[in-house]
Structure 1
């Protein structure tokens, strides 16, 4: 490959790049599971990578939006960094940043924070009486304080988006999770950074230019609030459909492997109950049908039971098995609705 030519990263979702069924953790202790994207979703990811645009993912809760970014990071680790080790001799992992959005999150939080109060405090400490300060703090800590005061950058800390915009040897992956939780101005406050992928920090005078290896950005939304038009224009959009039964069975086989090999009847019952509840709650405004993530917890609870026959009986009388039912149904209203339908 020509040295001037950037590598053309491609996501495949291929089985050979999937995590093993045993728990897999990266240096951040994040857990990865097999992820089975549809062909359309794979195409959407690669289009976003090629066009260097954020990929906005919508879909009902539990359909797998959030796990996609991790699946891409895991595959790229296996595909492009398979033989690379860090200084400790451990497997090098693809740079993967997660920015979890809350109702109180501000756009600047993801870029950087600057602790002006801490700098003022340090300046006051150093200016009062340096000799007494050394007696109080000790020589080492006093020197550290003096060194810290010499650079404003020491009081600046990059957020997840800011970290992703710093220079990397390859294109890092950034997940902005549940952007619709923030207030209505949040998405508009990120337009410049998402459009030009650069950052300016007035407090320190730093200017972080557009990196050579631009981040691959995934953004998820549960459509709790509408997103502004200028923001939408800067994104590629994809709606993640809820998996059909055959896809769900494939997910089960990849996730649980040998655990479900001899328990087909139990799995069939669990799937039947799951879709029964989803069908019931989908018809009721304000209700929340369970998603894939809830089903996997539901099935895990069943598989953890030592007595398969007991687990099967619990499924037959699921409306009365409140702790187990609580893995699928999350509100008292929906619980009563399901119990009423079975009486």
Structure 2
């Protein structure tokens, strides 16, 4: 029997939300607008990336489909399906090829392959035969090498890490290790700060690198932010002011940090308070603009898979891959 004379907790304000925001409630907050529906199905969309013609590419993890969006007509095509299991990111090398990161069996059979936009002219960049990584994401440097994240482990078994692959793709060097599911990775405009999200321990890593791009500066590896809530930080990108945009998986939002790692804003996906579109995975800027696109899907609520949009603090970083 309820004692109505006692002080009583009630579901008001943030506590009514399916994914309450408490610690970041005072941040500048905007709500994204729907931009393009990719599918009526709840597909695990990831890997937003633009080629030099400003066509948009993205993938869906569990089905392996690679999508292409014509930015003028918004027509969606499916040029090919990944021959490797669970593709998690698409990036464009400066030679114009697609680089596809794949997770494999989430234990030891991931890797990276390159192809043209039709999935042809296949080349294994990081073979699942000769490596044990589960590759989730990568970011290129101006030399043509790249950093990739190893998605392995869990909260009390940190098997993942971040590695650098030389421009000739022959040497793999660890940058940081012992991370529980390394996920998103971004490189600052001067290529001296490497950002990494660690999903199952809810941490943001800020890594200051020396000129060789591999060695960590003295006291240069820090954790400027601990996230809260389920399920954790996912993919990320920077803008031209070196602000970092981090998609929060399972929370229907993107958190924004300045170049020192302080939170300065957040972007909400509409419907999140009712439990819709919570699987926000990846932000990316349309080249030459401050318009940000965000992947989200609604697998649990049968609301399909969408891209959402807002304007960021600054224009997207115009990296060498577009020059």
Could you say whether these structures have the same fold, taking a TM-score greater than 0.5 normalized by the shorter chain as the test? no
Question: Which protein has the bigger helix share?
Answer: 1
Instruction: Determine which structure has more spread, i.e. the larger CA radius of gyration.
Output: 1
| TM superposition score normalised by structure 1 | 0.24
| Relative contact order higher in (CA < 8 Å, ≥ 6 apart) | 1
